[in-house]
Amino acid sequence: MWRRSTTESGIGDDSGVREKLTRSAVAGVVAALAALALAQSASAIENCPKMPSVRTIDTQTGKLESIAFDSKGRLFYTALDQGLLLMIPRAGAEPRVVLDGIDGPGGIVMRKDGDVLVGFGNTAAQAADGLLDPEAGLIRVDPDTGKSKVFVEGLQMANGVTRGPGGTIFASTDFATGVDRIQHGEVQLEWATLDSPNGMIVDKGKKHLFVNETFAAVPTIQRMSLDDPPGKPWFTAPEAPAAFLDGLTRSPDGTLYAAANGAGDVWRVSGPDDGCVLMDGAQIGPSALAFGRGKGRFPKHSLFVTTFQGNLLELPHAR
């Protein structure tokens, strides 16, 4: 289910433009993977004064892409290669499949009514012609019954996904330049443009959106006004050129935590000139991260991390 269709985009049949975009996206992926192979030896920013131990919670075949907790404290995460949305209802329990057959599961956000929104179309093929043929979207899933339906479609990729004020949702496409916005069920393509946007989180004042740029020449976290995008670089790390920033979250005090999948790191960023490595190269490709909710014995001070190595990790006392 949720496989890409071949419906017309309504933009016209410009095969030359489409071919050019496809070649560009594929070339970008190849270059990124080549850099990723070398990035494990790259020096990142300095280590944090206190670095937590790393605990493995679960191991899956293939790549884990995203993670989120609901208001009941249940942990949700996606297996990209397998097309799965999984859930661990409480600490120590076995994971169970909530939904399968997702074509390129992307980011996860929670609805106030308890349903889960999970991205689909998070693939290089979709990103190659995202603006010409935007067929990615979000699926609404009841986590108790597994019933699902398309919540919105017409996005470029639905890679990083986060909520804003008033029910607004933002979705990114890391192989291109767009952050899409969904308001009242309507999609605004390229609400903001910046280089390879990925993980996103709204600040605690609900006035700005922080966005990781994955393939920027210098690893960068952008900050943009929710009223007047685009923004400007808020944090950069020039000494870690192949860090490949991916998922992004924050603690209640506003401190940011970024998955640097190229370096195998998790970074803690307290300000524009204040960043350190919280987990250094212990895993291949950290992809997303979220703090526990306390309920279900997933501690609030523990940071939970998914990786392209297929591991779900816990970093106790990360904040």
pLDDT in tens, 145-171: 999 999 999 999 999 999 999 999 999
Cα atoms in the Cβ-side hemisphere of radius 13 Å centred on 159: 30
Name the token pair of 165.
């004020």
At 127 the pLDDT is 83
Q: Is the peptide bond before 233 cis (omega within 30 degrees of 0)?
A: no
* Average pLDDT of the residues in 34-55: 69
The predicted model scores a pTM of 0.88
Report CA Rg, the chain: 18
Contact (Cβ atoms closer than 8 angstroms) between residue 114 and residue 143: yes
The sign of the torsion formed by the CA atoms of 28, 31, 35, 37 equals: positive
Distance CA 95, CA 67 (A): 13
Mean pLDDT over 124-143 rounds to 91
Write down the CATH superfamily of domain 15-315. TolB, C-terminal domain (2.120.10.30)
Q: What is the pLDDT of residue 44?
A: 54
Q: What is the pLDDT of residue 1?
A: 35
pLDDT at residue 271 greater than cutoff 90: yes
Give ∠ CA 48-52-55 in degrees, rounded to 5: 145
Look at residue 21 and tell me whether its pLDDT is greater than 70: no
